[in-house]
Copies of this chain bind each other. A is one copy, B any other.
Amino acid sequence: MGVLRLSHAEIRVPDLELAHAYYAEVVGLIETARTDDRVYLKAWDEHQHHSIILLAAPTYGLESLGFKVEFESDLDELAGRLADRGIEPTRFAAGDLGPGSGATCRFTAPSGHVVDLVHGMEQVGNGLPVHNPPPAPEGLTGIAPPRIDHIFLMCEDVDGVTAFFREVLDFRLTEQIMADDGHQLVTFLERTHTPHDVAFFTGPDGGFHHVAFWVDEWNDLRHGADTCAYHGVNIEAGPTRHGATRGCGLYFFDPAGNRNELYTGGYWFDPDDEPTTWTEAEMGRAIFSYQGKVDPHYMTVHT
C-alpha cells in the first residue's frame, strides 16, 4: 500500500528546555521520551510514540521528517524504487533510531530533506481507555491538537521533487501554483485523500516552512490564537482561510523561530480527481484568501 501519512518531524532548536516548554505547555503535546539531546512528543490523540522530535542543535530548521507506511514489506518495495533512482537508502531496525522508533528506510530526497519511511513505531495509545471511553481525556493543556497533519518544505526544484514524490512514493498532486513561465512554484501532495500531507515551496534546498497540526473546527483556531496570545507567542497570520486546499489556518512560531500551523477543513480527494491549478497572479489569494495579495513575510521567512 505504501505511505500512509506524515508520521513525524524532527525539529532543530537551540534551546531545548525552552522549546520543550513551548511544545508541551502552549501547543499541548505530550512528552513520551527524553534523551540527552532530544525530546519526543506526541499529540494527544495519536497512538504512536511520537510525531515531534525536538533536537538540541546550534540553529533552527528541520533535521528530518518521517512518513508512516502500512506494511513492513513497503519498506523493501520503496527501497527498491529508490535504488532504481540511484538513491541508496539506509535501513534501521526498530529502536535503532531512538526511543519508540520503528523499522526505518532513510534517504535524502532531491529537495535535500532527510526522509524516513517508518513501519512499526511503538504504539503507546491515546490516553483513553479502550473500553467505553469519553470523547477526550481530562487534563489536556494549551492548544492540544489531536494530531499532526502536514508539512511544508522548501526546495529549489519544485517540479523535480514533485515528480519524484509522485513517481517513487505514489503521492498524488492535489493543487499547484504555477509560475507564468510554466514551473511549479508550490505543489500540494497527498496520500491520505486530504488536500496535502506534504507541500513543496520554492526556496533553498532543505528549507523548512512549517509543520501543521490538525484541529477539528474553525472555533479551535480562535482557541489556538487566544492561547498563543496569552503566552506571548508570535502569531504571523490568521485565523484565516487558504485559497489552496480551502482549509483554514493559524500560523505562529516556536521559540526557535520554526513556524507552526493549526489547520482545519479541506476536502476528500479521490485519485481520479483533477488537481487544482493556481496562476502566479493569484498566488496571494491561493495562500491567504482574505488578504488576497502575496504576504512577503510568509513567502520569505523559513528555517
Question: Is A86 an interface residue when CB atoms closer than 8 A count as contact?
Answer: no
Contacting pair B123 A272 (CB below 8 A): yes
Check B228 against A45 for contact (C-beta < 8 Å). no
- In the assembly, how many copies of this chain are there? 4
Q: Whole-angstrom distance between the alpha carbons of A228 and B292 in the complex?
A: 11
Interface: A265 (CB within 8 A):
yes
B contact residues around A238 at 8 Å (CB) = 290
Evaluate contact between A219 and B219: CB separation under 8 angstroms. yes
CB atoms of B193 and A222 under 8 A apart? no
B123 near A70 (CB under 8 angstroms)?
Answer: no
Whole-angstrom CA separation of A229 from B265 in the bound complex: 17
Interface residue tally of chain A, by bracket?
A: 35 or more
Minimum distance in angstroms from A244 CB to a CB of chain B: 9
Q: Which of A55-63, A125-133, A151-159 contacts B (4 or more CB under 8 A)?
A: A125-133
**When the two chains form their complex, are residues B268 and A216 in contact, meaning their CB atoms are under 8 A apart?**
no
* Complex CA–CA separation, A47 to B286 (angstroms): 21
| One of A34-42, A107-115, A276-284 at the interface | A276-284
Determine if A235 is an interface residue (Cβ-Cβ < 8 Å). Answer: yes
CA distance A219 to B264 in the complex (A): 13
The smallest beta-carbon distance between A113 and chain B, in angstroms, is 23
CB under 8 Å from chain B, chain A span 244-303:
246, 248, 265, 267-268, 270-279, 282, 285-286, 289-292
Query: Known interface pairs A132-B285, A271-B4. Does A290 touch B218 (Cβ–Cβ under 8 Å)?
Result: no
A and B contact pairs by CB, cutoff 8 A, 17 listed: A5-B270, A47-B270, A123-B272, A131-B278, A131-B279, A138-B230, A147-B268, A216-B217, A218-B218, A218-B219, A218-B222, A219-B219, A225-B241, A229-B241, A229-B290, A232-B292, A239-B240
Apart from A136-B226, A229-B292, what are 12 other A-B pairs with CB-CB below 8 Å? A4-B270, A45-B267, A47-B272, A131-B277, A131-B278, A132-B286, A135-B243, A146-B267, A147-B267, A216-B265, A218-B218, A222-B239
